[in-house]
């Protein structure tokens, strides 16, 4: 019996080993082969180093900010030297050749304030780079070197990327030229703080200082993005990297090469996210679109009849799934173009036609207001005590519509409403309600049912946005 047991055990062990070898070979076959891809792609990747000469006073101001403490930081190492009278800072990044006659893409922050640009190729040749133009809004810059017959990268289509696809980066982290790292696409269409015009590709590819401006490749060897930012609490790689889609970069470089600058469209609205509670209060079936909380007087949207409380669902027949989609779609539209929008207004879909104007950096449009959403208990259904507008408030707001907030409790307090706020109107079940006096507001508040969502249009100072409240059951 023991012999049989031993024989059975040996057979079982052999089976387990065989399965392990088989599964290991399957796993190995599933992994991407990157060596050939690197051989084809690396010659078109370059190292970009810059020098900035600044006065000591300016250097002192810049060093007062510790870049290691930035939540979202661009990554480019700086190696300062201290001459006698001036301060010279060396910076290092990456780039890639997009044409055989020497046009190179990199990040705008790599060449920012550069007094000189040096481009080094894989064959150790060095060229002085000439800045054709840089666009800070997209963080894309175009450099030109005097050379011909250069290797160039093939340009791919980032829209064909799927979450989970393998991607590869080549760059110069910490000055180590042509370092290769790989990973997968973690997400698409990411919005980052103050970066509403770029739908970033998120990856887990190891990216560190010096990778800025380097290419992100798909497994076909096509460039699908420019590595631009990382999410880090330490300044080093923490598994979250962000790349600019190559379509955005190529559009920017084309404008820089043709016109020397980048133009973008604007329509003159301030928008905010549509949450579940906002959707309920506006009678939307699902939380999609961009909610208009303010309309610029005399701007394209006002001239087209767009109103506060409209929810923009489509722009030029392209869906606006989230509020961050709208600035990208509008920004990519050439000024002077006639465009169409589909909006949700009072429970129905409306079509609007307008002419897009040019975006001005000093007045960014369209701007997003962070949504406010809260659920909780209050001493009454809205937790608000209101009063008539004071004479000073009426003069400031040039009208008598609205009520002034005097006391905030419960649900309203959790939504961060505060004394002095002015409630102009509300949206309930898709219908707008304006408040001209305290009695109107109190009747409105008393009529709200338990579990119902309402959105209040609140003005604070010179800004206004919708605040969504859900009355507790």
| 124: number of Cβ within 10 Å | 7
212 is catalytic: yes
How far apart are alpha carbons 61 and 229 in whole angstroms? 23
Helix (H, G, I), strand (E, B) or coil at 349: strand
How far apart are alpha carbons 471 and 265 in whole angstroms? 39
380 is in an annotated binding site: no
**Please, are residues 177 and 121 in contact by the beta-carbon 8 Å criterion?**
no
79 is in an annotated binding site: no
Among residues 87, 139, 177, 280, which one is catalytic?
139
Q: Which whole-number Å values give the CA distances from 133 to 106, 121, 249, in the listed order?
A: 11, 21, 12
How far apart are alpha carbons 382 and 445 in whole angstroms? 7
Helix (H, G, I), strand (E, B) or coil at 280: helix
Among residues 49, 87, 109, 138, which one is catalytic?
109
Phi, psi angle pair for 449, to nearest 5°: -90, 160
Q: Is 230 exposed, middle or buried (0-12, 13-18, 19+ CB in 10 A)?
A: buried
Sign for the pseudo-dihedral over CA of 382, 383, 387, 393: negative
**Please, are residues 214 and 169 in contact by the beta-carbon 8 Å criterion?**
yes
337 is in an annotated binding site: no
Q: Which is it for strands 166-171 and 130-135: parallel, antiparallel or unpaired?
A: unpaired
210 is in an annotated binding site: yes
Rounded (10°) CA dihedral 100, 102, 106, 112: -170
375 is in an annotated binding site: no
314, 92, 295: which is closest to 210 by C-alpha?
92
316 is catalytic: no
Q: Which is it for strands 367-369 and 269-273: parallel, antiparallel or unpaired?
A: parallel
> Residue 126 is encoded by which pair of tokens?
């060095």
226, 48, 240, 234: which is closest to 126 by C-alpha?
48
165 is in an annotated binding site: no
How far apart are alpha carbons 412 and 381 in whole angstroms? 9
Q: Name residue 245's beta-bridge partners.
A: 225
Among residues 191, 212, 228, 324, which one is catalytic?
212
> Residue 453 is encoded by which pair of tokens?
């969502």
How far apart are alpha carbons 208 and 230 in whole angstroms? 8
178 is catalytic: no
Which residues line the annotated binding site for substrate? Answer: 51, 109, 139, 210-212
Query: Which amino acids are annotated catalytic?
Result: 109, 139, 212
Which residues line the annotated binding site? Answer: 51, 109, 139, 210-212
């Amino acid at each position: 019996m023991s012999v049989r047991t031993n024989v059975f055990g040996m057979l079982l062990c052999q089976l387990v080993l065989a399965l392990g070898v088989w599964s290991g070979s399957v796993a190995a076959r599933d992994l991407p082969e990157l060596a050939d891809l690197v051989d084809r792609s690396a010659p078109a990747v370059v190292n970009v180093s810059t020098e900035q000469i600044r006065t000591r006073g300016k250097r002192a101001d810049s060093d007062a900010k510790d870049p290691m403490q930035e939540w979202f930081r661009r990554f480019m190492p700086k190696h300062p030297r201290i001459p006698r009278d001036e301060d010279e800072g060396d910076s290092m990044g990456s780039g890639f050749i997009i044409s055989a006659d020497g046009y190179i893409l990199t990040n705008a922050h790599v060449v920012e304030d550069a007094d000189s640009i040096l481009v080094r190729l894989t064959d150790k040749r060095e060229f002085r780079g000439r800045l054709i133009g840089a666009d800070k809004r997209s963080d894309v810059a175009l450099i030109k070197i005097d050379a011909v017959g250069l290797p160039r990268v093939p340009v791919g289509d980032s829209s064909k990327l799927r979450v989970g696809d393998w991607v590869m980066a080549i760059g110069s982290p910490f000055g180590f030229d042509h370092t290769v790292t790989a990973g997968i696409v973690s997400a698409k269409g990411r919005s980052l703080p103050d970066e509403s015009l770029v739908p970033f590709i998120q990856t887990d590819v190891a990216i560190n200082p010096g990778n800025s401006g380097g290419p992100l490749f798909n497994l076909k060897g096509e460039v699908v993005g420019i590595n631009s930012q990382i999410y880090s609490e330490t300044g080093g790689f923490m598994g979250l990297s962000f790349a600019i889609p190559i379509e955005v970069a190529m559009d920017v470089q084309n404008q820089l090469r043709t016109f020397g600058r980048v133009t973008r469209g604007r329509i003159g609205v301030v928008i905010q996210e549509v949450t579940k509670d906002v959707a309920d209060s506006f009678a939307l079936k699902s939380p999609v679109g961009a909610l208009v909380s303010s309309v610029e007087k005399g701007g394209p949207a006002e001239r087209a009849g767009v109103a506060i409380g409209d929810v923009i669902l489509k722009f030029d027949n392209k869906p606006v799934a989230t509020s961050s989609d709208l600035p990208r779609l509008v920004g990519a539209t050439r000024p002077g173009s006639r465009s169409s929008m589909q909006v949700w207004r009072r429970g129905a879909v409306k079509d609007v036609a307008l002419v897009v104007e040019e975006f001005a950096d000093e007045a960014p449009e369209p701007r997003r207001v962070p949504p406010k959403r809260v659920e909780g208990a209050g001493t009454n259904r809205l937790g608000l005590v209101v009063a008539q507008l004071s004479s000073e408030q009426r003069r400031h707001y040039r009208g008598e519509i609205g009520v002034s907030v005097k006391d905030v409790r419960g649900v309203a307090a959790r939504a961060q409403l505060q004394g002095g706020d002015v409630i102009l109107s509300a949206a309930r079940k898709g219908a707008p309600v304006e408040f001209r006096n305290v009695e109107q507001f109190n009747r409105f508040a008393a009529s709200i049912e338990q579990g119902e969502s309402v959105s209040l249009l609140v003005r604070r100072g010179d800004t206004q946005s919708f605040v969504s409240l859900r009355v507790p059951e």
